[in-house]
């Protein structure tokens, strides 16, 4: 059955970094019940053939009131993200969902390895919150790549989590160069962490250009393709 498309009202907007914004929405007809790691589809009244469908992952787990926290960066000349940047409290946007299967695998019998570049961290942040709420003792390693220090998303929160939770390790990586450099340096960091080590559960999120070479790298380090869970934004 097709998911209901319904209006959602913008409750708040907040700039998290110079180029990343948070939008809190509340669906007006019925709650969207979702699992952390899933996403919703926004139908935007822009582009050559509106509506323009754009997917955004939830950054926070379900709330009792049904609000959805979305976090996105403004893509240069990006039609959808530029429109979202213009939304204000009280505006409405059609939404449907939830969709996707970038959810925690069960059982969690191995260490989790999350790798994200920039806003690829959004679904992973939701998964981290789920793990924290469940007080799970599963060890977690997060490698978060950002283009600059001030674009490290959720940085303070993740540092605090790393201090408070002995099972969580946070490795922020600032790589100002392009995608090729981000891939090369992330793989260089990854190699000693996984090669010859007990197997972990790898989950990687952002654009295909980053996710695919990282998955290939993990396969060279001994992982089966199916063992690497991915979410791609394009």
Ligand X SMILES: Cc1cc2nc3c(=O)[nH]c(=O)nc-3n(C[C@H](O)[C@H](O)[C@H](O)COP(=O)(O)OP(=O)(O)OC[C@H]3O[C@@H](n4cnc5c(N)ncnc54)[C@H](O)[C@@H]3O)c2cc1C
CB closer to ligand X, 163 vs 180: 180
For residue 12, give the H/E element and its range.
strand 6-17
> Between 39 and 154, whose beta carbon lies closer to ligand X?
39
Question: Least Å distance between CB 166 and ligand X?
Answer: 29
Minimum Å gap between C-beta 109 and ligand X is 26
CB of 142 to ligand X, least distance (A): 16
Please say whether the beta carbons of 6 and 28 come within 8 A: yes
Instruction: Kindly state the smallest distance separating residue 99's Cβ from ligand X, in Å.
Output: 7
CB 143 within 8 A of CB 186: yes
CB crowding 151-160: b at 16 or more within 10 Å, else e: bbbbbeebee
State the minimum distance, in angstroms, from the CB of residue 133 to ligand X: 20
Residue nearest ligand X, CB atom distance = 78
Q: How far is the CB of 172 from ligand X (least distance, A)?
A: 18
106 by Cβ neighbours in 10 Å (0-12 / 13-18 / 19+) ranks as: exposed
Sheet of 92-99, strands arranged across: 52-57, 39-44, 92-99, 6-17, 20-27, 68-73
Listing from the earlier edge strand, what are the strands of the sheet with 201-206? 168-174, 140-146, 112-117, 201-206, 229-232
The backbone torsions φ and ψ at residue 74, rounded to the nearest 5 degrees and listed phi first, read -85, 110
d(CA 215, CA 221): 10
Cβ nearer to ligand X, comparing 39 with 168: 39
Q: Which is nearer to ligand X, 39 or 223 (CB)?
A: 39
With respect to ligand X, which residue has the nearer C-beta, 81 or 165? 81
For ligand X, give the closer residue by CB, 139 or 209.
Answer: 209
Counts for the chain of helices (H) and strands (E), in that order: 5, 11
> Judged by CB, which is closer to ligand X: 46, or 193?
46
Residues that bind ligand X (CB under 6 A): 39, 54-57, 71-73, 75, 78-81, 100, 119, 122, 207, 231, 233-234
Residues paired with 141 in a beta bridge: 113, 169
In the complex, what is the shortest distance from the CB of residue 154 to ligand X, in angstroms, rounded to a whole number?
Answer: 12
């Amino acid at each position: 059955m097709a998911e209901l498309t319904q209006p959602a009202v913008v409750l708040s907007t907040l700039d998290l970094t110079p180029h990343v914004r948070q939008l809190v929405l509340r669906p007006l007809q019925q709650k969207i019940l979702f699992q952390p790691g899933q996403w919703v589809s926004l139908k935007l009244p822009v582009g050559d053939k509106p509506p323009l469908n754009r997917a955004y992952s939830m950054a926070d787990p379900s709330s009792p009131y049904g609000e959805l926290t979305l976090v996105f960066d403004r893509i240069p000349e990006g039609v959808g993200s530029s429109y979202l940047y213009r939304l204000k409290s009280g505006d409405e946007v059609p939404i449907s969902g939830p969709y996707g299967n970038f959810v925690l695998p069960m059982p969690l019998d191995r260490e989790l390895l999350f790798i994200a570049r920039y806003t690829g961290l959004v679904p992973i942040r939701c998964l981290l919150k789920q793990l924290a709420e469940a007080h799970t003792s599963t060890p977690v390693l997060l490698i978060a790549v950002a283009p600059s220090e001030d674009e490290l998303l959720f940085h303070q929160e993740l540092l605090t989590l790393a201090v408070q939770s002995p099972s969580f390790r946070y490795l922020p990586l600032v790589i100002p160069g392009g995608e090729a450099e981000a891939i090369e340096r992330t793989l260089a960091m990854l190699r000693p962490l996984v090669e010859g080590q007990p197997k972990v559960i790898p989950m990687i999120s952002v654009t295909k250009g980053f996710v695919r070479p990282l998955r290939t790298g993990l396969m060279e380090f001994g992982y089966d393709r199916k063992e690497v869970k991915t979410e791609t934004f394009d």
